[in-house]
Amino acid sequence: MTTSPISSMANVSTIAAPVAKRQPPDAALQAAVAEKSALVMARLNSIIARHPNVVFANSLGAEDMVLVDMICQDNLPIGIFTLDTGRLNEETYTLLEQVQKHYANCNFQIMTPDYQLLEPWVREHGINGFYDSVENRKACCNIRKLEPLARALKGQDAWITGLRAAQSVTRQNMDWEDFDTLNNLPKFNPLIEWSEKEIWAYIDLNQVPYNALHDRFYPSIGCAPCTRAISAGEDVRAGRWWWENPETKECGLHKAK
């Protein structure tokens, strides 16, 4: 029997789930993280030198928390913004509050959808109309993510993301230096070569705050109705828009080459 996306919502974050256990990073992993961290800091400083008005799009995912920590610990002149789609998990909002307190020296700009675009779409398609088709889902992402992103990037010289090549098939050919044709800006992915183990080793070694859902088998977290926990052996982004094929699993923020 085929399970509908809405009935699959049994995996929502309010339901208790086992906590994933991580092993402490060994000496080799710590050395790899130290080496890659130095490279990322060099990249960030190179970006700043070339693009004084640069911003970082912080999704509050594990990768992005690594960059938040690096930027804020070194007081780098990089603006930070977060897209609040209005449909995020409670745990994500809790993390946002923690981050604002933990990195009090940094200012976190919160971008929200334009109600003049969102309200008519919801009236026409319904509150969960994004389940009905890929076209509807992408239209929802456009209103809740792409349009606020465009506003956040207006007047900027470049932007930074926490993308990693290993995250999905749609990101395997991305480079650390890229160009965003939609927003006509240079785009940088300084963590592109990092592995998932290296991300979590950095977080654990530096006591970086992170989303509690990661410990409940949510390696990739987006909007609450479009994200589920994954099972052992599944791809790390299998829980994102799980009712779609892998090649369509992007919201449009990050175009593959």
Q: Which positions are catalytic?
A: 251
| Whole-number Å distance between alpha carbons of 137 and 134 | 5
User: If we measure between CA atoms, which residue out of 135, 127, 131 comes closest to residue 4?
Assistant: 131
Give the Cα separation of 237 and 167 in Å (integer).
Answer: 7
- Closest Cα to residue 96, out of 236, 226, 221? 221
Q: Cα 188 to chain center, whole Å? A: 14
